């Protein structure tokens, strides 16, 4: 299950899609940044299907678990033998 400790490196996967939480920011009226937490669903080519934005991490965690916890849980910090490139810190796919 995705929680407030593992959300940066865990996701849910279906046969064609993956769901994960990402962080974003928007300017505030006081010239600061408001952090936002996005529940994002993409295909395996990383094409965004849709995204929902939440002002608090705990809301994003609750929503991703409510909608996608029936999909396969994937910890990207652990090497997966099911796929050659799921992304994440250990894969160097972002570099």
Q: What is d(CA 73, CA 65) in angstroms, rounded to the nearest whole number?
A: 10
Q: State the pLDDT at residue 94.
A: 45
Is the pLDDT reported for residue 30 higher than 90? Answer: no
CATH 1.10.10 given to domain 10-75: no
Contact between 22 and 76 under an 8 Å Cβ cutoff? The reply is no
Q: Which two tokens stand for residue 59?
A: 């809301």
d(CA 40, CA 24): 12
Q: Does the pLDDT at position 88 exceed 60?
A: no
Greater model confidence, 19 or 30: 19
With a CB cutoff of 8 Å and minimum separation 6, the contacts of 67 are: 19, 39
Is the pLDDT score of 95 beyond 50? no
- As a whole number, mean pLDDT of residues 1-22 equals 97
Over residues 56-71, mean pLDDT: 98
Given this model, what pLDDT does residue 29 score?
Answer: 85
């Amino acid at each position: 299950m995705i929680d407030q400790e593992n959300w940066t490196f865990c996701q849910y996967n279906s046969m064609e899609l993956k769901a994960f939480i990402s962080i974003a920011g928007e300017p505030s009226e006081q010239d600061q940044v408001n952090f936002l937490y996005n529940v994002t669903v993409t295909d395996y080519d990383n094409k965004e299907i849709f995204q929902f934005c939440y002002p608090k991490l705990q809301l994003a965690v609750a929503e991703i678990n409510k909608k996608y916890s029936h999909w396969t849980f994937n910890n990207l910090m652990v090497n997966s033998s099911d796929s050659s490139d799921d992304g994440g810190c250990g894969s160097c796919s972002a570099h």
